[in-house]
Structure 1
Amino acid sequence: MIDHARDLASVRDATDQLLNAAAEVNNASVAEPSRLPGWSRGHVLAHLARNADALVDVLEGRPMYASADARDADIERDAPRPLDVQLADLRDSAARFQEAGAAPADWSRTVELRNGVTDVAARVPFRRWVEVELHHVDLGIGYELEDLSAEFTEREIDFLVARFTGHPDVPSTRITDGTHAWRTGRDATEPEVTVTGSRADLLGWLAGRRDGSGLTVVGGTLPTLPPL
């Protein structure tokens, strides 16, 4: 069962950690490239702030974004801002998300996210937790996938494996860290490929943050995963 209140606390803690780390950089560093192609660190920070507001809209029954173009335009508009403005915006938008998440609500209801994706409201705090943690890594300021908590890493692997299960473009795949195994792809009951590695490397590959060079593949080549 999803514990949205516990996840909301995890979002708060992860956000505080990101804010404290980002406060150690400077305006010049904010303008430098992040680990995401085509995005500066300012783009990542701007996206995190706007995503918090977008998820408030989701929780309150409004469209997540007015449009894909509007989402992109907001990020481009906010990306060049100086560090202190970026951090204040992220702090304020995070507080708005915490407030919306703490409001009495039917957490079993279905909500709509981007591109017609739906989910139960109770999973929205976890989705925000994912945004904060992975984009903290994307900033390239010393926080790595290996630094993520064991709970978060396992849950995000579970989530991504479920996302790719049954996908026609992903071959049947067994994924393991040597102690635990997951199955995903077209027919998760008959693995065609076995992918082995550390949980950090597995998560990095599944989340599009690593190329899979640290993984061992048996029974074929490393599957190419569709974009998230």
Structure 2
Amino acid sequence: MIDHAHDLASVRDATDRLLTAVGKLDNASVTEPSRLPGWTRGHVLAHLARNADALVNVLEGRPMYASGDARDADIDRDAPRPLDVQLADVRDSATRFQEAGAAPADWSRIVQLRNGVTDSASRVPFRRWVEVELHRVDLGIGYELEDMPAEFTGREIAFLADRFTGHPEVPPTRLTDGTRVWTTGRVAEAVVATVTGPPADLLGWLAGRRGGSTLRVEGGRLPELPAL
């Protein structure tokens, strides 16, 4: 069962760690490229702030973003800001998200996200935790997939494996870190391949942050995953 209160606390702690790490940068570092193609570190930080506000919209029953174009324009607008402004925005928007999460609510209700995606409100805090953890890696400031909390890594592997389950472009695939097993891809077919590797590498492949060169594949080839 999803524990939204636990996940809200995890988001808060992860955000505090991110802010501490980013606070060691300078203005020049914010303008440098991140690991995301075409985005500076400022773009990543602006996205984190605007995503927090977007998820407040979700929790309060409003559209997540006015439009895809508006989302992109807001990120481009905010990306060049100096470090102190970026930090304040990430911190203040994170506080607004925590306040929205603390409000009395029916956490079993279904909410609307982007592009027609729906989910239980109870999973929104975990989705925010994903944003904070993965984008801290994307900043390229010394935080790697191996540094993520083990609980988070296991849950995100399961979340992404479920996301690709039933996808017509992904063959039936078994994933394992040698202890746990997940399945993904098309259903109602025999498993084509088994992909084995450390949790960080499995997550990196599923999340589009790493290639699969360190993963061992048996019974087929490593599937090409659609963009998230």
- Could you tell me which residue of structure 1 aligns to residue 86 of structure 2? 86
- Could you tell me which residue of structure 2 aligns to residue 57 of structure 1? 57
Please give the alpha-carbon distance, in whole angstroms, between the structure 2 residues aligned to 1:111 and 1:180: 30
Alignment of 1:142-221 (within 5 A): 142-187=142-187, 190-221=190-221
Please give the alpha-carbon distance, in whole angstroms, between the structure 2 residues aligned to 1:124 and 1:181: 25
| AA aligned opposite 1:76 | D
- Could you tell me which residue of structure 2 aligns to residue 126 of structure 1? 126
Spell out, residue by residue over 1:62-86, the C-alpha distance to the aligned partner (whole angstroms, 9 max, x if none). Answer: 0000000000000000000000000
- Are the aligned partners of 1:50 and 1:93 in contact in 2 as well (CA < 8 Å)? yes
Give aligned pairs, total: 228
Please give the alpha-carbon distance, in whole angstroms, between the structure 1 residues aligned to 2:188 and 2:57: 35
- Could you tell me which residue of structure 1 aligns to residue 69 of structure 2? 69
- Could you tell me which residue of structure 2 aligns to residue 38 of structure 1? 38
State the Cα distance separating 1:189 from its structure 2 match.
5.9
- Could you tell me which residue of structure 2 aligns to residue 225 of structure 1? 225
Please give the alpha-carbon distance, in whole angstroms, between the structure 1 residues aligned to 2:218 and 2:33: 35
State the Cα distance separating 1:214 from its structure 2 match.
1.1
Cα gap change, 1:74/1:44 in structure 2, threshold over 3 Å: closer, same or farther? same
Please give the alpha-carbon distance, in whole angstroms, between the structure 2 residues aligned to 1:206 and 1:147: 17
Q: Provide the alpha-carbon RMSD of the alignment.
A: 0.8
Please give the alpha-carbon distance, in whole angstroms, between the structure 2 residues aligned to 1:56 and 1:65: 11
- Are the aligned partners of 1:183 and 1:189 in contact in 2 as well (CA < 8 Å)? no
TM-score under structure 2 normalisation? 0.99
1:94 aligned counterpart, secondary structure? helix
Please give the alpha-carbon distance, in whole angstroms, between the structure 2 residues aligned to 1:109 and 1:151: 25
Unpaired runs of 5+ residues, structure 1, are none
- Are the aligned partners of 1:45 and 1:79 in contact in 2 as well (CA < 8 Å)? yes
Please give the alpha-carbon distance, in whole angstroms, between the structure 2 residues aligned to 1:42 and 1:189: 44
Unpaired runs of 5+ residues, structure 2, are none
2:10 aligned counterpart, secondary structure? helix
Spell out, residue by residue over 1:171-198, the C-alpha distance to the aligned partner (whole angstroms, 9 max, x if none). Answer: 1101111111111111276210111100
- Are the aligned partners of 1:165 and 1:188 in contact in 2 as well (CA < 8 Å)? no
Moved more, 170-179 or 180-189: 180-189
| AA aligned opposite 1:142 | G
| AA aligned opposite 2:115 | N
Spell out, residue by residue over 1:101-127, the C-alpha distance to the aligned partner (whole angstroms, 9 max, x if none). Answer: 000000010100000100010100000
TM-score under structure 1 normalisation? 0.99
State percent identity of aligned pairs. 79
Moved more, 6-15 or 214-223: 214-223
Cα gap change, 1:188/1:143 in structure 2, threshold over 3 Å: closer, same or farther? farther
Please give the alpha-carbon distance, in whole angstroms, between the structure 2 residues aligned to 1:191 and 1:119: 27
Moved more, 92-101 or 182-191: 182-191
Cα gap change, 1:188/1:223 in structure 2, threshold over 3 Å: closer, same or farther? farther
State the Cα distance separating 1:129 from its structure 2 match.
0.3
- Could you tell me which residue of structure 2 aligns to residue 108 of structure 1? 108
Please give the alpha-carbon distance, in whole angstroms, between the structure 2 residues aligned to 1:121 and 1:162: 17
Cα gap change, 1:4/1:139 in structure 2, threshold over 3 Å: closer, same or farther? same
